[in-house]
Amino acid sequence: MSDQLPIPELSGRPGRPARVAAVALDTPVPHLDQEFDYSIPEELVGVAPGVRVTVPLAGRLVGGWVTEVRTSTTHPGRLSPIRRLVSPVPVLTPEVLQLCRDVARANAGTLPDVLRLAVPARQARIETAADLTPRPVAPIPAPVSGWEEYTGGPALLRHLREGSSPRAVWTALPGVAGGLPAWIAELRTAVAATLASGRRALVVVPTTREVDQVHGELATVAPAVRYHGDLTPAARYRAFLAILAGHVDIVVGTRSAAFAPVPDLGLVALWDPDDDNLREQHAPYPTALGVVSHRRSCALLVGSYSRSVITQQLIVDGWAQPLGAARAVVRERAPRVEAPDTGDLRGEALRLPSAAFQLVRQALESGPVLIHVPLAGYLRSIRCANCQGQVRCRHCGGPLALGHAGAVSCGWCGRHQVVTCPACGSGRLSAFSVGSERTSEEIARAFPGVRVVLSTARTGITASVDSRPALVIATPGSEPVPEGGYAAALILDAAVATARTALDTGSVALDRWLTALALVRGAAAGGRAMILGNPDPAVAQACVRWDPAGFAQRELDERGELHFPPVWRLAKLDGATAALTAVARELAGTPHLELLGPVDGHLIARVPRAAGRDLLGRLRAIQVERSARKEEVVRVHVDPSDL
């Protein structure tokens, strides 16, 4: 006798079996992260995989997505019917559904949490007016040349033209072309090669500024659309529907675009994976790189001036191939970078020593000079001038900053206050780090009569500067693109950029510095740069040699010795001590597991990469069990950069 449950008969018209819908519920409860069967009423027309529906659950109505429609069920009881078809538009494609499942599994999260990141909120008016007739890709002529400066570059273009799906980690050459960073023109060639094969392309970049730059260039190749979270809900949903129907062949967006439902997708290009903007701030905290690496049946091109430790691991694993230029080409295209130590500066304690002053003065004779500072604002990280003790906001404990008029305000609550040192009682204050606005004042006094341009997210980002002499003060990500390149650049307060305690501090600093220095003219054209302010020697030397690959490999080796990601898989668990202690007991016995804590509401669980899937599966099962027992569910963050 079979031990399988009998498949119940379903009501329906004679001779025609009733239909059953598998529905993924839109609920944050972990133990409900599964697909439930519901019957489809005969009068409910349009229920199909991918549509939104409303279904009953425990006496209330919840939303959900239909994942499958069939004619049978293994549920032994009577099925509840779907109450409402929210929309007949299948907004969740099978490819995106599988992608969301993979991302949830890789981050020990739930499918509904990922689906909320992937599918934008419905806008009924936009949907009603939209033309959803599918359109095929319009192939374009293939580019006849390109990427000759990169080892393996022509082969990459050939594979894209022929419809293959290579995976490459691209270390882009520095430079400016046509008023834009040179990498954008090179990306245009790769996208054109993909479209020539009858496939579409998706490009993910960190900021909307880069979206506009890339979209402007790629829109000359084929129909393109911007897709990012800063759009209005209506504009974002309109773009989503255009992507879904295949009305555009190129999609350019920020991190949420990594889930875009692009039909006939041939290439996903991700620029600058180390940028913080490409890390999701909502559970289960996926990164854009983590999402696009789960895309199936398409080529993947991950590019930056630097190289992240994670992409280096992908190369070591053989999962992706490195794509870079020969050393001779790099030396010609990159500026000549110096990182003087205190001995080289003959003991000068000035923020702008004489060697840097001389470099700027000479460079101004031939063009603009970039002054790169790590922080916006005026005076930051206030300390006691008497004892050097730290002073913080007396209301909320936040960091204090000194404004133009000498007023002290909190960076968290914004309150102005009179501050005295809690250690010695002194009211004299000094700044540990200097912001962009104070820097612009200092630079203007040091070089009277020279045009000064301030570009920060706080004061407004300047898109570009002409080739006339100017001093351009900019924070990371706000650097204006110079016409013909900067004549020189200074990286100031380098120690501030490497003072964080996060695992990726060095990688992020290197990425930011190389991104800024890539806008400086090459050494062959006289471009020079200097890194000042006690830089971390390893990061500074990677800039001097322009060797991000070597730096990434050294970082990877060190992380392996210390049992850190990506060589090991690590889960940071946050919650009450009692809950974390209980989870630790349930994890006991997991092969190769190392547990650290719980301490101060945190528990670290880590295993070698080969055992990572087992750990994440076990964590997911524990969360489901605790949720079903109505016990506190802890927060899980997989491979965080900040522990």
What are the tens digits of pLDDT across the range 16-49? Answer: 348 999 999 999 999 999 999 999 999 999 999 9
Q: Evaluate if residue 99 carries a pLDDT over 70.
A: yes
Report, as an integer, the average pLDDT of 90-96. Answer: 98
**What is the percent of the chain where pLDDT is above 70?**
90
**pLDDT of 191 strictly over 60:** yes
For residues 260 and 178, the answer to whether their CB atoms sit within 8 Å is no
**pLDDT of 582 strictly over 90:** yes
DSSP-derived letter for residue 624 is: H
pLDDT of residue 76: 87
- Predicted confidence at residue 12, as pLDDT, reads 41
Give Cβ neighbours of residue 166 (< 8 Å, ≥ 6 apart): 156, 159, 160, 299, 300, 321
Mean pLDDT of 621-637: 94
DSSP 8-class letter at 486: B
pLDDT digits (tens, 9 = 90+) for 562-574: 999 999 999 999 9
On the question of pLDDT at 7 being above 60, the answer is: no
Query: Which of 483-487, 508-512, 598-602 has the weakest average pLDDT?
Result: 598-602
Q: Which residue has the tokens 């993924």?
A: 24
Return the minimum-mean-pLDDT range out of 336-350, 438-452, 485-499. 336-350
Strand partners, 302: 169, 270
- pLDDT score of 381: 56
pLDDT (0 to 100) of residue 437: 63
pLDDT digits (tens, 9 = 90+) for 311-348: 999 999 999 999 999 999 999 999 999 999 765 555 45
Structure confidence at residue 342 (pLDDT): 64
Q: Tell me, what's the pLDDT at 138?
A: 87
Determine the pLDDT at residue 410: 76
Concatenating the DSSP letter of every residue in 194-221 gives HHHTT-EEEEE-SSHHHHHHHHHHHTTT
Q: Are 27 and 112 in contact (CB under 8 A)?
A: yes
Per the listing, tokens 């190769």 go with 592
pLDDT at 595 over 90: yes
Domains defined along the chain, listed by start: 1-89 (no CATH), 153-329 (3.40.50.300), 335-377+435-545 (3.40.50), 563-638 (3.30.70.250)
Of 168-182, 351-365, 400-414, which one has max mean pLDDT? 168-182
Decide if 625 contacts 606 (C-beta within 8 A): no
Residue-wise pLDDT for 348-367, tens only, equals 556 788 999 999 999 999 99
Best CA proximity match to 466, nearest among 449, 448, 453, 447:
453
| Mean of pLDDT values over 179-200 | 97
517: three-class secondary structure by DSSP: helix
DSSP-based three-state secondary structure for 29: coil
- For residues 394-411, average pLDDT: 69
Confidence of residue 389 (pLDDT cuts 50, 70, 90): low
Summarize the confidence of residues 221-247 as an average pLDDT.
97
Is the pLDDT reported for residue 5 higher than 80?
A: no
Q: Does residue 14 or residue 138 have the better pLDDT?
A: 138
pLDDT of amino acid 417: 80
Confidence at residue 404, expressed as pLDDT on a 0 to 100 scale: 56
